[in-house]
């Protein structure tokens, strides 16, 4: 009887805890996080769509204005997923840096170049029919080179340029370059995962407090003007969050309700514009909660094939939607003139399926083939190891 009573108390105690020790590893493919990528990209898309509307929606809600926070979701998720993929090789000291760089470039760069080529085509077409671009300085040659070198979020430019949303992949590129040393700090640090997570949250809080004094704008508003400083604490948070997730799970029974509460809290923070720090922390918690619950067999709806596919095409949606918006709404203004304000509420929504279709084309025509080609035809690991190990010729 005493044994039964003790076991019952233990069971009740575990049920009362929101967190419990993780019992197994994450699956190789965390599908729910792939699906969530689509919602993050859609939030950014909603921001840019609202900017095209004749009514300033900011007067009603800050939700659309804070669509920029979708990028912060990607920054945290990037640290989380890369650690998920490479933690074992880092711990076993078999991480190949150049192979890692090659895979990251294969993921980011081809579509980035295609977007620039599409913008050049748009400008040429406009010149042929006598339609000038609104801000020609944005597309100057002096701004092209930082874009091609993925340096346009490193403080090299004084404004947005070319495919303006691509500043974030410049910031991602910076994060990829520091991933190895940053990850080694976490791997070799003897502290527990809870301490690592708390320190990363403190780092984010310090950067959030410091940025307005330095840049006269919040950390989560930095883009071309040192967007690399925006990704740094968020990417670090993602790394720490994964270490924490290897040790802990959200309670499987109450977890879905807690996750729902976090999503509603995020909507409230965005609606009332309560600050980027709270939004980033909620985004990080949503990533942890979703991954944890999927590991326990929950959130099956986020593993839906349609949502997973939309998540897989989310990078193309993010990169291409701005170009689709520019061309579409420019065309409407040319055709309708002043009457656009009467028709925008009816014709505006058409751009959403157009953006989704373009994203699907970008994914299948550019992303997947180029990624496969670069992976099969190039080997930076072998190239750089050959250069460093080549014997010196004696003359």
Residue pLDDT, tens place only, 273-328: 998 999 999 999 999 999 999 999 888 899 999 999 999 999 999 999 999 999 99
Phi, psi (degrees; rounded to nearest 5) at 211: -60, -45
| Separation of CA 328 from chain center | 25
3-state secondary structure 292-341: HHHHCCCCHHHHCHHHHHHHHCHHHHHHHHHHHHHHHHHHHHHHHHHHHH
Residue pLDDT, tens place only, 22-40: 888 999 999 999 999 999 9
Phi, psi (degrees; rounded to nearest 5) at 343: -105, -15
Mean pLDDT of the chain: 90
SS3 at position 250: strand
User: Which sequence spans correspond to the domains of the chain?
Assistant: 36-378
Give every CB contact of residue 284 below 8 A, 6+ residues apart in sequence: 76, 237, 238, 241
Q: According to the model, what pLDDT value does residue 326 have?
A: 92
Q: According to the model, what pLDDT value does residue 16 have?
A: 52
Q: Is 292 left (phi over 0), alpha (psi -120 to 50) or beta?
A: alpha
Helix, strand, coil percentages for the chain (3-state, nearest 5): 75, 0, 20
Is residue 71 within 8 A of residue 280, CB to CB? The reply is no
| pLDDT exceeds 70 at position 80 | yes
The pTM score is: 0.91
């Amino acid at each position: 009887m005493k044994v039964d009573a003790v076991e019952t108390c233990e069971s009740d105690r575990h049920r009362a805890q929101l967190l419990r020790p993780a019992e197994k590893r994450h699956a190789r493919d965390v599908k729910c996080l792939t699906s969530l990528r689509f919602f993050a990209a859609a939030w950014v898309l909603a921001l840019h769509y609202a900017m095209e509307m004749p009514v300033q929606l900011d007067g009603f809600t800050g939700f659309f204005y804070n669509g920029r926070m979708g990028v912060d979701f990607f920054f945290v998720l990037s640290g989380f997923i890369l650690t998920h993929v490479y933690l074992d090789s880092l711990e076993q000291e078999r991480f190949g840096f150049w192979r890692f760089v090659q895979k990251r470039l294969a993921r980011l760069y081809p579509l980035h170049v295609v977007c620039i080529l599409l913008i050049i085509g748009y400008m040429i077409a406009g010149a042929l029919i006598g339609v000038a671009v609104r801000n020609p300085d944005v597309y100057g040659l002096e701004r092209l080179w930082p874009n091609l070198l993925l340096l346009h979020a490193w403080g090299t430019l004084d404004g947005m340029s070319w495919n303006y949303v691509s500043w974030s992949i410049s910031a991602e590129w910076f994060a990829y370059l520091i991933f190895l040393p940053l990850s080694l700090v976490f791997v070799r640090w003897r502290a527990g995962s809870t301490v690592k997570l708390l320190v990363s949250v403190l780092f984010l809080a310090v950067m959030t407090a410091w940025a307005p004094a330095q840049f006269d704008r919040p950390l989560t508003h930095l883009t071309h003007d040192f967007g690399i400083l925006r990704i740094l604490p968020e990417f670090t948070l993602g790394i720490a969050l994964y270490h924490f997730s290897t040790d802990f799970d959200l309670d499987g029974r109450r977890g879905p309700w807690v996750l729902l509460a976090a999503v509603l809290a995020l909507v409230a923070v965005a609606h009332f514009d309560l600050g980027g720090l709270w939004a980033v922390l909620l985004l990080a918690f949503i990533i942890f909660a979703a991954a944890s619950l999927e590991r326990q067999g929950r959130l099956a709806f986020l593993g839906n094939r349609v949502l997973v596919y939309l998540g897989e095409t989310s990078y193309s949606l993010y990169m291409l939607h701005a170009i689709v918006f520019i061309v579409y709404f420019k065309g409407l203004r040319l055709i309708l003139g002043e009457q656009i304000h009467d028709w925008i509420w009816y014709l505006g929504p058409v751009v959403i399926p157009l953006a989704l279709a373009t994203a699907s084309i970008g994914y299948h025509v550019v992303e997947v083939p180029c990624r496969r080609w670069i992976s099969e035809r190039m080997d930076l690991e072998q190239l750089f190891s050959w250069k460093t190990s080549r014997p010196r010729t004696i003359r």
